[in-house]
Structure 1
Amino acid sequence: MTRELFDQALIEEATKKSGLVWVRGAGAPAARALWHVWHGGAVCLVGDGPGEQPLTGLADGGSAEVTVRSKDKGGRLVSWPATVSELAPGSAGWEAAVAELKGKRLNAPDAEAMPQRWSRECRVLRLVPAGAPAPLPEDNLAARPVPTPATTRQPVPAALPRLLTRRRRKK
């Protein structure tokens, strides 16, 4: 097996099995975790619309770096360069990608009308592998999370632990 075929198989299998990929577009300050599907030899993404993931730094004809994590341990498996292309709404490629993406979209408020909303308000991108995977880094590359409007849960009310540990009264 040649090295190119091995690299292609590694990228495809790791990306298919991962629920998230970390993508850093050209000029973006940091990578973002994005949900995706592997379809037709590329990562397909949808976003930049209301209620959808941001696709910061990803432009049609641009480049990106994709890092795939392990589904069970969450560690880095492989990083690879990609070329970005935006699919035109209604095209055959767009329809095929959206059919795959629709099945993977969790918690959609409008499951049946989602493709129409995506065609009006969102972008569908393909990230095609464009070279050999990058070697794994020597250090851990830990970085602060990217700022987001998402919030964590509120503090536990003070009375909750007492309510949970209170025993039932015997009759």
Structure 2
Amino acid sequence: MTAAADALMDRALVEEATKKSGLIWVRGTGPARALWHVWHEGAAHLVGDGPGEQPFPAGITEGAGAEVTVRSKDKGGRLVVWSASVSVLAPHSEEWEAAVAELKGKRLNAPDAEQMTERWARECVVVRLTPGVTRTGLPDTSLAAPPLPTPATTRRPVPAALPRLLLKRRRRTGCHGASAP
């Protein structure tokens, strides 16, 4: 294959894999983060860095570079890694409006669906990641890293008195919900 054909194949792989993947891993200057996105007009678009939205990794700023890892939707393994140039879209610009129209349709569980785009314009950042160089080979190292700090918590231990309260309630109502004599 010629270099031009290879470049077209790489571009097609990046586009198809990124379109189909629900999450992409984006690395700026710090650790990578898993981010939801939409593929629109030849680039991945993200919204975040605002209240109630996904935090971007460090270094995702206008003119910066980023590394994007796309996983397989079926197996979850790495399919392709591509470098990206970062563009921050100006709120209410033509490009911003087009990207936000696509992002709005993919945003799940928004607490303020009617005012979401205005909140994004006021408090969030919409970013365009334009693909550059593609790498399809596997790395020499595992790339394992500890989880990033987060305010999210896991379930806490059950309070000591809870099992007694639940058993007491079952004894009172019987096994079919009827009151005991």
Report whether the alignment pairs 1:144 with 2:146: yes
Partner of 1:113: 115
Partner of 2:23: 20
8 Å contact from structure 2 (residues 80, 134) kept in 1: no
Q: Secondary structure at the match of 1:86?
A: strand
Question: Is the alpha carbon distance of 1:127 and 1:168 closer, same or farther for their aligned partners in structure 2, counting shifts above 3 Å?
Answer: same
Rg comparison, structure with higher value? 2
Which ranges in structure 1 are unaligned for 5 or more consecutive residues?
A: none
Report whether the alignment pairs 1:86 with 2:88: yes
Quote how far apart the aligned CAs of 1:138 are: 3.4
Partner of 2:163: 159
Quote how far apart the aligned CAs of 1:132 are: 2.4
Question: Is the alpha carbon distance of 1:39 and 1:159 closer, same or farther for their aligned partners in structure 2, counting shifts above 3 Å?
Answer: same
Which ranges in structure 2 are unaligned for 5 or more consecutive residues?
A: none
Quote how far apart the aligned CAs of 1:169 are: 5.2
Alignment partners' CA distance in 2, 1:168 and 1:58 = 58
Report whether the alignment pairs 1:8 with 2:30: no
State, as a whole percentage, how many aligned pairs show the same letter: 67
| TM-score (norm: length of structure 1) | 0.88
Quote how far apart the aligned CAs of 1:78 are: 0.8
Alignment partners' CA distance in 2, 1:64 and 1:31 = 9
Partner of 2:54: 53
| TM-score (norm: length of structure 2) | 0.84
Alignment partners' CA distance in 2, 1:122 and 1:132 = 29
Quote how far apart the aligned CAs of 1:136 are: 1.7
Quote how far apart the aligned CAs of 1:170 are: 10
Quote how far apart the aligned CAs of 1:133 are: 2.3
Return 49-58 or 118-127, whichever deviates more: 49-58
Alignment partners' CA distance in 2, 1:97 and 1:67 = 21
Partner of 1:42: 43
Alignment partners' CA distance in 2, 1:108 and 1:42 = 24
Aligned-pair Cα RMSD in Å: 2.2
The one-letter amino acid paired with 1:101 is L
Return 39-48 or 128-137, whichever deviates more: 128-137
Q: Secondary structure at the match of 1:159?
A: helix
Return 121-130 or 150-159, whichever deviates more: 150-159
Q: Number of matched residues?
A: 166
